[in-house]
Amino acid sequence: MDYENFEAEFKMNKNEYSAKFDKEGKWLETETSIKPSDISKAAKDYLNTNFSGFEVTEAEKVETADKGIMYELDIKKAEAKYEISISETGTLISRTDKNSSDKPKY
């Protein structure tokens, strides 16, 4: 159980998958671990143009019921580290600074 949804993690043909379903059993998304070289050309072009010199340290292909295909990437360059989501067509969906701390300070 992942908050309000169900999540199943499994391996198939040496690939790792994670599938998410709502309470009624409707499929929401599937995440697949992929090689950075398996990212679509449009997403690679966006990455090369807007994050030049960054290395992709982790890549996942995310197939969703309502948003289509996108890629979730962990990227780094020197001390800069981000988690970004890029659509299959090369549009930035989100960017999170992995160095920033949103943890409460006591």
Q: Enumerate the domain spans of the chain.
A: 6-97
pLDDT of residue 102: 54
Average pLDDT of the chain, as a whole number = 89
The model's pLDDT over 52-91, given as tens digits with 9 standing for 90+, comes to 999 999 999 999 988 899 999 999 999 999 999 999 999 9
Asked if the model's pLDDT at residue 36 lies above 60, the reply is yes
DSSP letters for 63-86: EETTTEEEEEEEEEETTEEEEEEE
How is residue 8 annotated by DSSP? Answer: E
This prediction has a pTM of 0.82
- pLDDT band with cut points at 50, 70 and 90 for residue 101: low
In a 10 Å sphere around its CB, with 0-12 CB exposed, 13-18 middle and 19+ buried, how is residue 53 labelled? exposed
With residue 41 as reference, give the H or E element that holds it.
helix 41-50
Residue found by looking up tokens 């890629």 in the block:
71
Question: Residue with structure tokens 């379903």?
Answer: 21
Q: Which residues pair with 106 in a beta bridge?
A: none
Domain 6-97, second-level architecture: Roll (3.10)
The larger pLDDT score, comparing residue 61 to residue 100, is at 61
